[in-house]
Amino acid sequence: MTKTILVFLLYACSLSAQAALDAAQVRQLAAEDSSDKVAAIRQLTQTADPDAVRVLQAMADDSLYLAGGKAVIIDGDKAFDAATGAAIRVPADAESVTVNNRIRGELANALAALKLFDADAGVRLASAQKLQSSVSPEMAPLLAQALEKEGDAQIRALLTVAHAQANLGNDDPAARMAAVKALSETSSPTIKSLLLPLTDKAGEPDDKVRYEAIAAVKAIDGRLALAENLGRVFSGLSLGSILLLAALGLAITYGVMGIINMAHGELLMVGAYAAYGMQSLFRAYLPDWIDWYLPAAIPVAFFAAALVGVVMERTVIRWLYGRTLETLLATWGISLVLIQSARVLFGAQNVEVSNPTWMSGGIELLPNLVLPWNRIIIVGFALFVLTLVWVLMNRTRLGMFVRAVTQNRPMAGCVGVPTARIDTLAFALGAGIAGLGGVALSQISNVGPDMGQGYIVDSFMVVVVGGVGQLAGAVWAALGLGILSKLLEGWAGAVIAKISILVCIIIFIQKRPQGIFALKGRFVE
C-alpha cells in the first residue's frame, strides 16, 4: 500500500516537474549485464534529478519491467513509462528486470545519495549517516553538490567525511590531498583502513599526499589508542566499584571484630539471589512493572543478607571472640552450608537475572568507545552505597560506637558502649552491604551458588591494601586494584594480570604491613 502511494506521489511530482530522464540511460537499467546496470544506476544518481528517485525506487521494489525495448514501471494494474513518467497501457509482453544483491546494494546507496537533496532535514541526516560506510568514487560530484546546498552543520560534517571518502580515488592529487586532510579528523577503524592503501607507494604516486595519509593514519591510530585506554580505565573503574561493594562490608566486619568472614562471598550470593527472587515475584505478579524489580530488590537484598549476618554472628561468631583463626574456619564452614543451601533451593545451575530495559545500551563517546549503562549505573550505585556508609559511620551515634569499638574495644566498653550489641549491628551492616553488592553483581555476572567464592580473595586483598577499618583506604585500594588489573589485562592477559597483582600485593605488604592508611595509635598484638 505504501509502495503504491509512494510511486503515485513520485509520479505526481514528476508530472508537475515535467522533467524527463534520458531514455537511453533508463533503458540501460534493464540491461542484461549487472555491470551495465550498475553503471546506469551511477549515471542516473549523478544527475541528482529527483525524478531518478522514482525510477530507482521502482527498481528496488521489483516493479521495473522491460517491454517493447522500453523500461516501464508496472504497479498493480497501472503502468508508466520509466523515462518520462507518462501513464501508458499495461504491456502484455513485460519482462521483469532482475535485481541481484549487488544491484540492490548499489540501489540502496544511490537512493540514499539522492535523498541528500530531500527537503526534510531528518531524511537528509539519515541518508548522510547511511553513506558514512559505503561510498563509491562516482558519488563524489553528487556529494559535492549536496555539500554546497547543505545548511545543517551536523549533516555537513557527515557529508564532508563521505565526500572525502569518495574523493580518495580522485585523479587530481589536490582533491585527494583535501580528502585525506578531512579524513584525518575522524577516528574510526574503517576510515583508517581506507587510508592505508594511500600510505603505500604503489597505492599513491604523489609524495605529498602519501605523507599526509601517513600522518592521518597516525592521528587516527592515536585517537583509537586513546579511546581504547579510556575504555580500559573505565572498565577498571567499574571493576573497582564492584570490588569496593564487595570489600566495604568486609572492611567493616574485619575492622570492628578483627575476624575474616570467609562467608562474605556467600553474602554477596544472598544479595544476588534476592534480586533473582524479586525478579521472579515481579514477573509473576507485576509484569507491567518488571523494569522496577531492581530498585525493589535493593532493600530486600540488604535485609536478607543482614539477617543471615545476624544469625551467623549470634550463633557462631559470638562464641569465638579472640580466636581469629578458628573464626576463619567456622565462617568457611558457614559458607559451605550457604552454598549447598543455594544449590538445594535454586538448583546447581546459574539462574537468569536480566537487566531492566533502562540499563541496556550505552553512551557512545567515540566510535570505538561505548560506555554501557549497566556499568555506569554500577559505578553510581557504588558511590551511593559509599556515601551511605560514610554518613552512617561518621554522622550517626551507631557509627561513632562502631568506630570506638574498632579503635579500642576495652576502653569503649568501659565508657558504656554496648560492645556486644555493636558487634551484632556492625556485622549485620557489613553483611547488608555485601547484599547490596550482590544486587550489583547480579546485573553483570552469573548468579549461581558458586559466585561468591571468586570474590573472597579479591575483596580481602582490597582490605589488606587499604588498611583496616578505613573507608578511604578501601576506596583507594578498590579503584587502584580495579584499574591496575584492567590495564594489565589489556597488556598481558587476564591470568597473568591476576597473578602479577597478587605478587604486587605481597610485595606491597612488605613495605606497608598496615595498608595504605594505617590506624595511628598504640597497638599491642
Partner 1 sequence: MRRPLTLRIIDSLDGKAWLALGVFLALALVAVPVLHLAVPEDSAFHVSTYVITLIGKIMCYALVAVAMDLIWGYGGILSLGHGLFFALGGYAFGMYLMRQIGRDGSYQSDLPDFMVFLDWKELPWFWSGSDSFLWVAILVVVVPAIVAFIFGYFAFRSRIKGVYFSIITQALTYAAMLLFFRNETGFGGNNGFTDFKRVLGYTVTSPETRLVLFGLTALLLAATLVFAAWLVKSKFGRVLAAIRDAESRVMFIGYNPLWYKLFIWVVSAVLCGIAGALYVPQVGIINPSEMSPANSIEIAIWVAVGGRGTLIGPVIGAFVVNLAKSWFTVSFPEYWLFFLGLLFIVVTLMLPQGLVGLWKKLTTRKEGAAA
Binding segment for partner 1 (CB under 8 A), chosen from 33-41, 71-79, 87-95, 321-329, is 321-329
492 touches partner 1 by CB under 8 A: no
Q: Is 337 in the site for partner 1 (CB under 8 A)?
A: yes
Whole-number Å distance between alpha carbons of 156 and 144: 11
- Among 188, 335, 406, 419, contact with partner 1 (rule: CB under 8 A): 335
Minimum distance from CB of 509 to partner 1 (Å)?
A: 6
In this structure, what DSSP letter does residue 520 have? P
Closest CA to 433 of 474, 373, 376, 486: 474
- Choose, by CB under 8 A, the member of 326, 354, 394, 472 that binds partner 1: 326
Whose Cβ is closer to partner 1: residue 119's or residue 345's?
Answer: 345
Cell 530522464 identifies what position? 21
* Binding residue (CB under 8 A) for partner 1 from 226, 344, 363, 414: 344
Residues 355-374 within binding reach of partner 1 (CB under 8 A): none
CA dihedral 266, 270, 276, 281 (to 10 degrees): 160
* Binding characters for partner 1, 415-454, by CB under 8 A (x = yes): --------------------------------------x-
**Minimum CB–partner distance for residue 275 and partner 1 (Å):** 24
Q: Does 340 bind partner 1 (CB under 8 A)?
A: yes
The binding track of 257-296 with respect to partner 1, each residue x by CB under 8 A or -, is -xxx------------------------------------
Q: What's the CA gap between 215 and 40, in Å, rounded? A: 37
Q: Out of 15, 398, 509, 518, point to the residue binding partner 1 (CB under 8 A).
A: 509
Element (H or E) spanning 243, and its range? Answer: helix 207-257
C-alpha cell at 345: 533451593
Helix (H, G, I), strand (E, B) or coil at 458: helix
Least Å distance, CB 462 to partner 1, is 11
Q: State whether the Cα torsion 326-331-337-339 is positive or negative.
A: negative
Cell numbers linked to 200: 603505500
DSSP string computed for 481-498: HHHHHHHHHHHH-HHHHH
C-alpha cell at 238: 567499574
What order do you get walking across the sheet with 78-81 strand by strand?
87-88, 78-81, 70-75, 64-67, 95-96
Residue 108 CB partners (closer than 8 Å, separation 6+): 60, 130
Consecutive H or E run containing 67: strand 64-67
Q: Among residues 17, 121, 311, 329, which is the contact residue for partner 1, using CB under 8 A?
A: 329
- Which of 498, 504, 516, 518 binds partner 1 (CB under 8 A)? It is 498
Q: Out of 72, 79, 330, 371, name the contact with partner 1 by CB under 8 A.
A: 330
Please choose, out of 22-30, 159-167, 179-187, 328-336, the segment that lies near partner 1 by the rule CB under 8 A. Answer: 328-336
User: What is the Cα–Cα distance from 400 to 206, expressed in whole angstroms?
Assistant: 75
Q: Which residue has the cell 499495461?
A: 90
Residue type, 309: G
Q: Pick the stretch among 21-29, 44-52, 473-481, 491-499 that binds partner 1 (CB under 8 A).
A: 491-499
Taking the complex as a whole, the smallest distance from the CB of residue 140 to partner 1 amounts, in Å, to 50
- Cα separation, 253 vs 331, whole angstroms: 13
* Positions 456 through 485 that interact with partner 1 (CB under 8 A): 457, 460-461, 464
Count of residues that interact with partner 1, criterion CB under 8 A = 41
370 vs 509 by CB, closer to partner 1? 509
Quickly count: other Cβ atoms within 10 Å of residue 431's Cβ: 33
Determine which residue in the list 13, 320, 444, 504 makes contact with partner 1, applying CB under 8 A.
320
Q: Enumerate binding residues for partner 1 (CB under 8 A).
A: 258-260, 316, 319-320, 323-330, 332-337, 339-340, 343-344, 453, 457, 460-461, 464, 495, 498-499, 502-503, 505-507, 509-510, 513, 525
